A and B are shown apart, each in its own frame.
Chain A
Amino acid sequence: MDFDLTKEQEMIRREVRKFAQSEIAPVASELDEKEEFSAEVTRKMGEIGLFGMFVSEKYDGQDMDYLSYIIAVEEIARVDGSQAATVAAGNSLGIGPIYYFGTEEQKKKYLPKLCSGEGLWGFGLTEPTAGSDAGGSKTTAVKDGNEWVLNGSKIFITNAACELSMGVTVQAVTGTRPSGKPEYTCFLVEHGTPGFKAVPMHKKMMWRASDTAELYFDDVKIPENNILGLPGDGFHQMLATLDGGRLSIAAMGLGGSQGAYEAALKYAKNRVQFGQPICKFQAVAFKLADCALEIECARNLLYKACWLKDHQRSFEKEAAMAKLYCSELMGRVANHAVQIHGGYGLMKEYNVERFYRDQKLLDIGEGTSEVQRIVISRYIGC
C-alpha cells in the first residue's frame, strides 16, 4: 500500500494552488456578485493546461492520470466553485464523451481546441421534464435521408451558452428498443447550426460565475457523421460519462470543504471573544476537529475511487460513494464555517457564504444525493 502521491501529482497540486490563489481568488467574489462568466479566466486555465488533462497527447491533451485531474479540480474548488465547475464540466462532460466515444475524425476535429481552453463543449442530458428520470427525455431525432432532424430542449447545461461555447453533445430519442424502452443516440451539435439556440440562465444561487444554459432545438439538421460513436449507444455513453463526472463533482466537494475549513480555522485562531481566540473554546474546536477528520476520510475515499479507475478496475460504486460523501461533507463544513464566522459569515466580504451557497448544487447535479444512494444500494445487493 502506498499513500504517497507521485512527484508529478504533488507538483500539479502546488502549481494549480498557486494559480488559483493568484489568478482566481482575487476575482472570484466580484464575478460571483456580478453573476459573470469570465472568458479571460477560462483561457488562463486553458493556458496552464487544466483542460484535457486525461486526454492523450495525440489530441493535444496532457496525458495525465485521472487522479491528477481530480487533484486539479480539488485545488480550483478550494478557492472558487464556479471556476471549478467550468473545468470539471469542460473535462468530464465536454471533452470526456468525445474522447471516449467519438470517432477518430470527431476527436481530431474538436479535441485540440477544447483541450487548449479556447473552446468549451456542453453535455445536453437534463430536460425540463427529465431530471433524475433521464428516461423521460422528450428530445427526439428522426432520420431524414443522410441527416437527422432534432427537436426538443435541454436545461441546466454548463458551458453551453458563453462566448467560448463551440457546441454540445445532445442525447435524443431515436427509436424504441425491442424491450419497449426508448433507444437513445448522442449527437454533436455545433453552435451556429440553424434552429439551435442556446440561452444563458441567470438568477442562480450558486456557481454564479459559471455558464449555465437552456438549449432549444427546432428542426435542427445534423449530418450522419455527427452521431457520437454509434447510433443507439446514447444511454450507455451518458451513464459512463456520469460515472467519471461523479469523481469531479466529488473533487469539488472535497476542495470546497478544504477551502471553507481553512477559512474557518484561520478565523477561529484570530477572532478573540471572552479574552481568548475562539478556537480555544471546545464548541468551536470540536467543529473544526470534525471537519479535519471528515475531510481526511473524504480525500481517502475519493482518491481510492480514482486509483481504481486509473487501474482499469470497476469504480462505479466508489464513485457514487465519493460523490455523495464529498458533496454532503461540504454542506456540513460550509455550515460550520459560517457558524464559526458568526455575523461576519453572513457577509460577502468573508468568502464562506459563497461556499455555503455553491455547495448546494453538489447535492443535486450529476445525480442527486438520493440517486447516489440508489446506486450504492444496488451495488450492495438491496
Chain B
Amino acid sequence: MTTTSRAPATLLLAHGSGGRLTRELVREAFLPVLGNPFLATLTDAAVLPELPPGRPALTTDAFVVDPAVFPGGDLGYLSVVGTVNDLAMVGARPLWLTWALVLEEGAPGELISTCATGAARAAAESGIAIVAGDTKVVPRGKGDGIYAVTAGLGVVPPGRDVGDHRIVAGDAVLVSGPIGDHGATIMACRHGLGSDDLRSDCAGEAALVEALFASGAEVHSLHDPTRGGVLAVCHETGERCGLRIHLDELAIPVRPQVRAVCDVLGLEVLSLACEGRVVAWVAARDAGRALDAVRGQGDGEGAAVIGRVTERGAGEVGLVLETAAGGRRPLDLMSGSDLPRIC
C-alpha cells in the first residue's frame, strides 16, 4: 500500500455513481492515507471493539470553509480536528470518526488529495481512526468543490464531569493561546490580504485537554471558540451558568498581524473564529497550575488567564469587557452573517 493520495486529475459525476470509478477513487485517493483495519473492510458499517469504561460522547459536524485550502490547514484537516475538539470539550477522549465528502463535478483531484492527506495527518496527530466514510458527487454548480460531514465517538472517563453547570463565582477563565488566527486568515484570504505571518491555528486539542486534567486542576467547563469566537462562547456560557463573566481586554492574547486584519476589515477580534484554541473555566486556586499545564503543550505556550466569573444580579448582563482603555462595557452577540463559511 502506498502512502500517497492519488485522486483523478478532474472529478467526474461517475466518481459518485457507486460503480468502478467510485471504487477507484476510494482505493487511490482515500485508503492509501486514511487506511486502518476498520476502514479497509469497506463494509456497510464499521464494527468496533468494546468501548473503554465511561460515558460515550457522540458529535457531528459539517465543514464548508471557503477557501478549502488556506495557510495552516485545509478542509480535510479542519474537519477532523474540529470533530476531535468537540469531543474533547465535553471531557471525552476521542476514539473514532466517520468522514463523508460531498464533492462537486470538475473539482480538481489535487484538492481532494490535499484534503484526504490533511484528514489523515489530523487523525494521526490526535490518535484517532476514521473508521467509515462516504463520497457523493453533485453536478457542477451545485456545490463548491468540497464539503465534509463527520461524526465522532469518544468516551468521558469515569469520574470526569465537565460542563457549564459546574462553573461557580470565582472561577478563572483561561484561553490556550492567541485568539482569532483562523478567522483572520480566512478573511484575509478572501480579501486578498495575503501575509506570510498569518496562519490558521487549526489543531487538535485532545492532548492539551488531557494535560489540563492530568495537572490536577479542577476543570469546570471547556469550550472551543469556533464560530462567533471567544465572545460567543463566553456569552452563551454566561447565559447557561447564570453568572457574570468578566473579560480583561488587555489580558487577551492577540497577534499583531491578526489585530491588523481586524483593523483593515472592520472585524471584532473577539468574534473571530479559532479552530485550535480552548477556553477553560477552572477553580480560581488552580489557575496557575492549569496555566502551566497548558503552556507545557506544543501550541499552548501563549496561554493566558483572560477573565473571571462573579455573581450576577437579576436582570444584569452576563458578559462584561474591561476595555483596554480602562472602561467597561457589556458584550453582546453579533447578529447577521458577518463572517459566513469560516469552517
- Chain A partners chain B: no
